[in-house]
Chains A and B, each alone.
Chain A
Amino acid sequence: MTEILLRTGALSFAYPERVGLFRRPLLREVVKRVDLAVPRGSVLGLVGESGSGKTTLGRLLVRLLQPTSGGIQFDGVEISHLDEAEMRPLRARIQMIFQDPQSSLNPRLRLGVTLTRPLSVYGRVKGRRDRRDRAAALLDLVGLPTGFVDRYPHELSGGQRQRAGIARALALEPDFIVADEIVSGLDVSTQAHILLLLREPRARLGLTMVFISHDLSVVRVLCDDVAILQAGEVVEYGPVARIFNSPQHPYTQQLLSAIPLPDVEPGWLDDASPIVTPYSQGSAA
């Protein structure tokens, strides 16, 4: 029996949407009754197109947002309605890696400071020497030269910045990381390095991860399980191999068949299915 690190029950999130000056705002549901169970040490892929609610769901899981209803259990503790102060001890164990390393690293701080900031916040560094050593060790962990402790984010390439973002997330040795589209802006060669890099600490540190992506090929490579989101609902959920080999839901089938594999396939473009307006495809075609 594998231990479940993170579990959600009927997790929902809605935000008020103004419909008119004098009318009461409508509640717009963007995450609808989502049930997930993420075993410790596994990677769950959250897949969906723009507007499917995958980023909102990710932010709920790390409690950057407060759910409208439903529960989130992290390591047996119900965290869905904890306030900031109550969340604080758990924050060290739950980390997030953001999509855009350009805007999520402070441009005015050297990497050494940025990487160890989480450690100083939790009082885990002793003096300057220790700080430098810890930063160097983190850089080494993600395959960056230790000399980068003195560099600023603008001196790094996109791939290097993303590695730095990962290093910062790993600084507190968290149990759980939510990674939001962290390889989508990267070149193929850099992307493959990052994907393999993410697989490693998972095996070594027993890291559990939720990996948000619109790219099914990347999910196939990195994840153990996958949840397919459409308009805020999980329409299919299970082990990657099963879902990729025999997708059951029409939306999953549609997503998978739209991936252009790097093989020449005459007829792929002359598919007779009607060209529909985006986001109006919801019903089984």
Chain B
Amino acid sequence: MTAALSVQGLHVAIGQGARSANVLRGVSLALEPGEVRGLVGESGAGKSMLGRAVLGLLPANATITAGKISFEGRDLVAMPEPERRSLLGRRIALIPQDPMTSLNPVRRVGAQIAILLRHHLALSKREALERAAELLAEVAIREPRRVLELYPHELSGGMRQRVLIAMAFACDPSLVIADEPTTALDVTVQRQVLQLVERLRQRHGAAVLFVTHDLGVVAKICRTMTVLHAGRVLEEGDTADVLARPRHPYTRALLAATPRADRPAEALRPVPPALIESLWAEARRLDRLTAMAPS
């Protein structure tokens, strides 16, 4: 079976020459079709950068210095730009983090969904609006036809995130990158959004790379998980195994530092600064080794 997504030895650096800094240091992971993979890490771990690299949306000053990214067996890094662009939004979709800034504020919701459908699926204007209404109904938006006529500012954060989810699944993608899609939402809305993502994933059979810092969210929606720190994979496996029996000290420390609604304060253990420092020292040692190695 061809992996939906395969990343091999991916190195990404920001900046040039002597002043460049590595953000991904040899990341490898593979997603089977239909798999939901949690990509967990704290800020600076490189989790969003990995998602952006897959989408070809790295910031202008970031470059892939080594490694391969393949989507359904096709090399995304070497692929000509027009071909890659035709995959984006259609076969590979993004659910962005911030529902407040990811929609165009001056265009109606319906027009924004229709543009996507007309571009990728060559639907007529009327067909596209028809399909857009169906998509909104699929993400449990009541009165979808009325919502098509609204501007983003007329919707709550949860509603906007639903619109973005509808857009992500609009063209039946086989890979969805979800970049912290529930971080800005209230818990009750978060739960509904997670339910929707799972429902649509099942219906469309997409693999999902779910980027998050929240181990609780991973536990609920991801079958497998990868723990990232300083651009390195520290641990991966089935979510149930990793959470019940974390092997890496960093994973154990993260779990112990996560406040839990079912446990009092005495259970909370901050991540030891010495552990973080030693992980960074190791990352810098790796950087020196890579720099010395003949390329």
Report the bound CA distance from A50 to B190 in whole Å. 12
Interface residues on A, range: 35 or more
Docked complex Cα distance between A49 and B190 (Å):
11
Say yes or no for A222: interface residue by CB 8 A criterion: yes
With a CB–CB cut-off of 8 A, which chain B residues contact A281?
188
> Which residues of the partner chain B approach A49 to less than 8 Å between Cβ atoms?
186-189
A199 to B188, CA, bound (A): 28
- The answer to whether B154 has its CB under 8 Å from any CB of chain A is no
Task: List chain B residues, Cβ under 8 A from A195.
Answer: 259, 265, 268
Tell me, yes or no, whether A118 is within 8 Å of chain B by CB.
no
- Complexed CA–CA distance, A25 and B214 (Å): 43
Residue in chain A with minimal CB distance to B196:
A275
Chain A residues closer than 8 Å to B158, beta-carbon distance: 277-278
Shortest CB distance A258–B (Å): 4
- Inter-subunit contact B270/A192 (CB<8 Å): yes
Q: Contact: A258 with B265, CB < 8 Å? A: no
Residues of B250-280 at the interface with A, using a CB-CB cut-off of 8 Å, are 253-255, 257-265, 268-271, 276
Is B33 part of the binding interface, using a Cβ–Cβ cutoff of 8 Å? no
- Give how many B residues have a beta carbon under 8 Å from the other chain's beta carbons: 50
Complex alpha-carbon distance, A94 and B221, angstroms = 43
In the bound complex, CA of A270 to CA of B220 (Å): 11
B-binding segment of A7-15, A129-137, A166-174, A183-191: A183-191
Contact in complex: B220, A199 (CB < 8 Å): no
B192 CB contacts on chain A under 8 angstroms: 275-276, 278
Cβ of B32 < 8 Å from any Cβ of A?
no
- A263 at interface, CB cutoff 8 A: yes
Determine whether the beta carbon of A269 is less than 8 Å from that of B221.
Answer: yes
B residues near A260, Cβ cutoff 8 Å: 187, 190-191, 194, 214, 216-217, 219-220
Chain-B contact segment, one of A55-63, A68-76, A211-219:
A211-219
**B190 near A258: Cβ-Cβ < 8 Å:** yes
Residues of B within 8 A of A222 (CB): 265
* A25: min CB distance to chain B, Å: 21
Q: Which residue of B lies closest to A183 (CB)?
A: B259
Does any Cβ of B come within 8 Å of A151's Cβ? no
A187 B188 Cβ-Cβ under 8 A: no
- Chain A residue contacts of B260, Cβ below 8 A: 217, 220, 261-262
Q: Does B42 lie at the interface of the complex (its beta carbon under 8 Å from any beta carbon of A)?
A: yes
A115 nearest CB across to chain B (Å): 22
- Whether A192 and B263, one on each chain, are in contact in the complex, defined by CB atoms closer than 8 angstroms, is no
A214-244 with Cβ < 8 A to chain B: 214-218, 220-222, 241, 244
Q: Which residues of A does B touch, CB under 8 Å?
A: 49-50, 158, 187-189, 191-193, 195-196, 199, 214-218, 220-222, 241, 244, 254-256, 258-265, 268-271, 275-279, 281
A-B contacts, 23 listed (Cβ < 8 Å): A49-B187, A50-B157, A187-B42, A188-B257, A189-B42, A189-B271, A189-B276, A192-B257, A192-B268, A195-B268, A217-B260, A220-B260, A220-B263, A221-B264, A221-B265, A244-B262, A260-B216, A260-B220, A275-B196, A276-B192, A277-B141, A277-B158, A278-B192
Q: Which 4 A-B pairs have the closest CB atoms?
A: A260-B216, A189-B271, A192-B270, A49-B186
Known: A217-B259, A258-B190, A262-B243. 15 other contacts (CB 8 A): A50-B186, A188-B215, A189-B254, A192-B270, A195-B259, A216-B261, A220-B261, A220-B262, A221-B265, A258-B188, A259-B261, A261-B219, A262-B218, A262-B260, A278-B186
